[in-house]
Each structure stands twice: as C-alpha cells, then as structure tokens.
Amino acid sequence: MNQREAKNRIEKLKKEIDHYRYVYHVLDRQEISDAALDSLKDELVRLEREFPALVTPDSPTQRVAGEPLAQFEKVTHPTPMLSLNDAFGEEDLRAWEERLMRLDPFARLSFFAEPKIDGLAVSLLYEDGLLRLGATRGNGRVGENVTQNIRTINSVPLRLNALPALKRAPRIEVRGEVFITKKVFVAINREREKAGEPLFMNPRNTAAGSIRQLDSELTAQRDLRFIAYAIPTDLGQKTHREEHELLQAMGFYTDPDARECADIAAVMHFYEEIQKKRDAMPCQIDGVVVIVNSNPLFQKFGVVGKAPRGSIAMKFPAEQATTVVEDIQVQIGRTGAMTPVAHLRPVRVAGTTVKRATLHNMDEIKRLDVRIGDTVIIEKAGDIIPDVVQVLPKLRTGKEKTFHMPRQCPVCGAPVARADGEVAYYCTNKACYGQQREGIYHFVSKKGLDVDGVGPKIIDQLLENDLIKNAADLFEIAVDDLAPLERFAETSAQNMVDALKNARRVPLERFVFALGIRHVGEQTAVVLADYFGSFAQLRHAKFEELEALPDVGPVVAQSITDYFSDKHNCVVLDRLVAHLHIVNPKKKSVRLSRKTFLFTGTLASMTRDDAKAKVRAEGGKVVSSVTKDLDYLVVGEEAGSKLEKAQKLEVRILSEEQFLKMLK
C-alpha cells in the first residue's frame, strides 16, 4: 500500500470509528459488534504505525472511549481510566515484549493474564471502607456518576472487609467490569419477546444500558454482576497478582481463571485454554488481558498515547459466517468511482446482523469468482462492512448469475468508463446526483469545513426536500426553511444555521481539500495553498505550473485544471467564495528551505501534526518515507522500522530535543 492509498484508507477508518464510538458511548446504541470495531481500530493502529506521518490529533487512536452522557452528574477520575492496545496473535505479543525490553533491557518480566470480560468498565471509590461513588469510564478522564445503580449490584460490597492494608489509605479506588451473564441475557430477551418489546442485541449492550438507567429499580431487575480487576490506590501491593488477592480479601469477586504466567509461552497457553472454553463460560469474553505482573515495572514503563505500555489485550480472531449473495449493486463515490457491494441474506456476525459486504472492484470479483446466488464466507476484520473472503462453489445450483459492471450509472444514467491503468469504473457525469451527495458529505466532514452536527443524514434530508443541490446552497439556508422538516425543532434549526456560520472562516488548504478534487488529498492541498497563497491564484493556475510542483505531477495537475475549467464547478465556486472567508496561509520563513523531515515514534511535547506544521512554517518539507535524499529523521518514543532504514542509509537522526533546538 502506498502513501496515498494509506491516507485514503485511514481517513475512512477514522470517520467510521468515530461514528460508531459516538453512537455507542454517547447515544447508548450499538450498530456494529465490538469485535468488528476492534478490527477497525487494529487496522487503523497498524496503518498509523506503518505511516506515522499520517497520524493526526483527531484520530480515534489518540483518545479513549466516548463522551459521558448528559443525564448524569460528571465525575473526574482520580487517575485516568486508560484503554488497552490490541494484539491478535503470538507475533504481536512477542513484539510487545520486545518493546518493553528495549525500554528496560535488564527487566525480569513475568505476566498476569485474565479473561477480558465483555462488559462496562467502572470505577468504585470507597471512603473509610464504605462505598461512596460508582462511576463509568466515560471518556477516560470524566465519567458518569451511577452510584445508585452500582449499589443494586449484589457482587459490589457496600463495605469492604477490614484488612490491615486498608489503614494505609482512607480513600481506595477499585476498578472492574459490570456485566450480565449469558443465562440472564437469554431470560431478559425471553420476557421482552413475550411483552412484544424489541430484543436486546447482546449482553454487553444490555449491561451498559442497564447501568445507565435513570431508574435504579429497573437496574436492580437486570441482575448485573461486577468483577474486580485492579486497585489503583497504593496499599503496598507489589504485583498484580497481589492486587487480585487483596480484592478477594476485601470481598470482591475476581476471575477464578486469572493466573500468573512466567513468560509469553505461558501466556499463549493460557490464551488457547480460555479460547477453547470460551463458549462454555457464563459470560461473554472477547480475549485475554495480559499485564506486566510487577507493579514497579508497570509504572516505570508508563503510558504511550492513551494506553499503558505494560498491558495489552490479546483479542480472539475475527468471526466469520456463511450466507448467500442475493444481489450485487454499485455505490457511487464523490469522484464518481463505482464500488460493487454484495447484498446478503441477513446473517449475524460478531453480535450484529449483516446485510451487505464490500466487493471492492471488478478485479476482486473476478479473483473470488463471486456470482449472484453464491454461498460465501464473510468476515468482519478490517472493514466497516464485512469482506467476502471466499466462495463455496460446491454449493452452487447452476442458477447463479455472473455480475457485470453496468454500462450506465444507476443513479443518473450517464455512461460508465474505466480509465487506462485503473481498477475502478467511473460515472462520467460530473453532475451526477450520487456524486454530488457524496461531495457534500466530504465538504462538511471533519477534514473539510468541519460543520458541527451536519452529517450524512442531515444532508440527505436537505437534498430530499430540495433545499440544497450543492455545497454553496448550505450557506443560504434560513431557520424558516428547516422548520417544516422532521426532527428540526426551532432550536436544532438555529443550531445548524449557527454551525454553518461558524464554519465560514476556513484556511485555504482545508477549503481546497474540502472541494474533493480527484487526487488532491490533505498534503497536496497544503502544497497548493503554500505555493499559490490565495484561492484566486490557484484557481487560474496553468497546467505547466501545477505539474512542476512537488507532490503534484501530470495526473494531479490535469485533474486540478479539469476541475477549475468545468462550468458547473465555476458557478458553485463563485458562490462559495462569496459566502466564505478563505484565510490565506502566512508567508513562511525560509530558514529550513529545501530541507526534508520525517517523523517516527511518539513525540513528548507535541503531536506529529504540530511538528510538521512547525517545519512547514520554516519553509521545510515533510515527507512520508525514508530515502537517501532525506535530510532529517526526527525520532520519538516507540520508533519503528524507519529508524533502522535511516541508519542504514546514514540519514541524520534527530532526537525531539535536538529538533526543538534547531527550531529555536
């Protein structure tokens, strides 16, 4: 995968992960399974490790969980409730151990492993042995006060058993997981079915919804359980095993399967043992948590990003299922690219009902030899909708139909074409409704104008009611236009108009990216903004001038000139320019002119985006890969393969401190 492909994939992953995190943690709903979301996050983490220059501050990997619900009093945790990085095999575990040994080559590592309960993380605060507060994790720093609901859980002691160690701290924090057993979950759904109520999706969603009930009596009816796994308070414990022993002595339920492991081989043995008995266990689990057993070492290893270095979640493999391809239809993207999608006989995979799976392009369809009517294996691994990973040809009946890419766009009826050297087919009508809709989605997206609260559903509603036809129409909408629409009360209508007003001031590079010009990503938009300095200059640039720019070349230059010479685009652009205040980039210093920089690892004093901005502000250039022409590789913590390659090519290596001195 090259830089451009990785960038596009990362942007899609970030958008989808943020959506599903918001739906789950803020709206208290679940649209995809946790296993599928974990797979998405794992792919994002792996891509960002491979292309660290593409990591941005708004990436889901840079934060923990979601925002707390507004219905409950907010609670600030004494210490942050961090998330865990994921591993998906022994190779990942070995790599994690190697990273720890690089941090402390003399460390004598042993581990503590326990099943990863699929529930809701909570923090309990005890004062003088009495339960005073119960809070959800929330966003990791601020959670929700659910003390009344926590008190209904019989496995949560209201008073701790007296122990000598408790005299060390009058305030003690205990962390664990609220969950619901499979047996209770089935019983709840049986009663809901009798009452004609919609069934709950899975035990975790049921537990999360129950602990957030405003009516604690309803929570008490759900038979929730609590399993304790950590004591952040210092009670003299030296190992994580001792923490479990303390928790048991205090009166908490801890996992009876948890155990100390001498090395990674023992951890893998434990993992395989738990995986075999997973289905027979009373509650849902989605993997194994592995933690450095020594508490002093765990503290020494510290935190990187939003996860402790000294622990990791070893996840079970992605789930698969078989189903039938009932149809194959195409979706139209903002550039006109047509993506074939398999419409499936509904099947449950990893806790959700799946109805569609991506087929990517015609080359992939031919490789799989997938036909309409085929029985296929689908897998939720790295995509938001599952992949078709295998066809079962022995189950064919002879009635299956070969799919052919339509010759006309299914949305507008325009001819379909395939450019030489490309795998994608395109709708040739630039005014296609499908393209326009996706283009407006992109325009208001986080990386575009970042219009708060205006997403695809709102855009669809505006299009369906003929309130907009293009992005410029958004800025002419009045509150009265929105009043008759469903879900638009006076306040929400005013909020949307205000959000659009707040988005009118936009930096040139973001505006250029928001236009959705084919082949123009974030980096190219920055190059164009820096070179031309104003939108007027860029808009009237000649092909030859564009082609000569770094990161542009003939293909991108032709795409840009085609875009700005299109009459329809010109009309929309004129209106946009009239509505927006496009902020031109400041004149840059030339101190680092002609110098190229690449960043790898985690920087302590700033994000990589901040560091790249500082380089560009001094006239330097940020590149995405190590070559012999690279001037400087700036190395942070957890530096990857780029450091080794730079050393072989004798590229100059800078520490973060040296980089900052250079800037001064």
Catalytically annotated residues:
116
Structure tokens at 631: 């001037």
CA-wise closest residue to 634 among 657, 650, 617, 616: 657
- Which amino acid appears at position 621 of this protein? K
- Spatial strand order in the sheet of 259-261: 86-87, 311-315, 285-292, 111-117, 259-261
SS3 content of the chain, % helix, strand, coil (to 5): 40, 20, 40
Q: Which H or E element spans position 121? A: strand 120-127
Distance CA 188, CA 191 (A): 5
Distance CA 81, CA 176 (A): 11
Distance CA 334, CA 430 (A): 9
Buried b (16+ CB within 10 A) or exposed e, 628-658: eebbbbbbbbbbeebbebbeeeebeebebee
Distance CA 310, CA 320 (A): 31
Buried b (16+ CB within 10 A) or exposed e, 14-31: bbbbbebbeebbeeeebe
The Cα-based distances of 161 to 153, 156, 157 in angstroms read 17, 12, 9
The Cα-based distances of 548 to 537, 544, 553, 622 in angstroms read 16, 6, 6, 18
- Which amino acid appears at position 436 of this protein? Q
Distance CA 474, CA 455 (A): 12
What backbone torsions phi and psi does residue 501 show, to the nearest 5 degrees?
A: -65, -40
Structure tokens at 410: 């299914």
Distance CA 181, CA 105 (A): 42
Distance CA 646, CA 626 (A): 6
CA 290 to chain CA centroid, Å, is 23
